Amino acid sequence: MREIMAFAAAAFQLSAAAAGTTCLWKAGDGGVAVYRIPALCTAPNGDLVAVCDARKRHAGDLNSCQPINISARRSADGGKTWTRPVDTWTWKWNDDEQWAASDPSLIVDPAAKKIFLFYNVWECRNRKGVFQFFVQESSDNGGTWSKPRDISKEVAFPEWPFGENCAEKKGAYIFISSGSGIAASDGTLLHTLVRVGHGNALFGSTDHGRTWRAVGKPVANGDECKVVELSDGAWMVNSRWRGGGRQIHVSRDRGATWQSWYDRNLADPQCNAQIMRLGKSLLFTNCNSPKRRARLFLRESFDDGRTWNEGICVQPEGAAYSDMTLLPNGDIGIIYEGAGYKTINFVVVPRSDLASSQR
């Protein structure tokens, strides 16, 4: 009975948010078969920047060897209206080279007033099986972007087989997680790497993105993941993993050592999610189901992720990858993949709804 009442309350809260849902990308628009893998941030001036994969031919991932662009849109009014999509990365596809990019992610540096856009790149004709990591930056709130820069060697871990042929060496797939990284309280920019089937690692910058480097040591067990700073300054990595829950890693020495555990209270169907700090609490968006990519929820923790409230149902039906950001007015903006990967949607959860979920 308690679960039924909690879900009914969450569904009631959904009505206020769902009324303002906006479709940002739809399958077929612009001659693109599928749009996937969204990321979202609030620019230094308060504008919203959203990015995603524009998968030209089909829904396949980067290693399926197809043309993929990185598409971007902006909003200057809290998500009510959006600019037309533009491509920050455009694939190259001819007899000599076949380049594509995927899994975009964003970090905002409030001190430098810059946005960094990361993605993974695959040249599948001449360097088949080798992922590279690129970054672009914007100093005008996402209006324009620098030329893409390859940082693969900068962030390489000696423990992992960077640059080897993924198709020939089992477990060599290494990539940057999509979604959002963070700017820690000391100004360090932090982001996450994944080695498929093996675990997670961090990379970052202490000079406002002029250089990037591997941080600490990799940790076993984990897939696509996000990093957040806890109230005591420790770093937490929250990762999709097997078994219907989430894998958690915490480091109190800047990634040199890790304490890990499996959180069965955060139901998850092995899907990318997002975690972020909001004042004294943590917010978490994911598909609140151990098996199905559906029931997108926003939940809150008041004890650094040890426990979570029942939260707010953002989308009761099909959903998948999600990201979120704090809007200038204090509300929460959420971007997510819709049912069947046919849309990428934006919705605002009012701060008042979040407060109501605490009772």
Per the model's pLDDT, the better-predicted residue between 322 and 63 turns out to be 322
Q: How many domains does the chain have?
A: 1
Main-chain dihedrals φ then ψ at residue 121, nearest 5 degrees: -125, 140
Q: What number of residues does the chain have?
A: 359
In this structure, are strands 98-109 and 179-180 parallel, antiparallel, or unpaired?
parallel
pLDDT of residue 182: 98
Tokens of 127: 């360097």
Residue 26 has pLDDT above 90, yes or no: yes
- Least confident piece of the model among 60-74, 169-183, 262-276, 330-344: 169-183
pLDDT of residue 176: 97
Tokens of 99: 């380049």
Write out the residue range of the structural domain in which residue 294 sits.
2-356
Residue 3 has pLDDT above 60, yes or no: no
Q: Please, what's the b/e burial string for 290-324 (b: 16 or more CB within 10 A of its CB; e: otherwise)?
A: eeebbbbbbbbbeebbeebbbbbbbbbebbbbbbb
pLDDT of residue 125: 81
pLDDT digits (tens, 9 = 90+) for 34-92: 999 999 999 999 999 999 999 999 999 998 889 999 999 999 999 999 999 999 999 99
Written as one letter, the residue type at 105 is S
Residue 287 has pLDDT above 90, yes or no: yes
Q: How far apart are CA 114 and CA 134, in angstroms?
A: 16
Written as one letter, the residue type at 161 is P
Once rounded to an integer, what is the mean pLDDT over residues 279-307?
97
pLDDT of residue 358: 65
pLDDT of residue 128: 65
Give the model's confidence band at 5: pLDDT under 50 very low, under 70 low, under 90 confident, else very high. Answer: very low
Residue 155 has pLDDT above 80, yes or no: yes
pLDDT of residue 355: 75
The pTM (predicted TM-score) of the whole model is: 0.94
| CATH code, domain with 51 | 2.120.10.10
Question: How many CA atoms within 13 Å lie on the side-chain side of 229?
Answer: 18
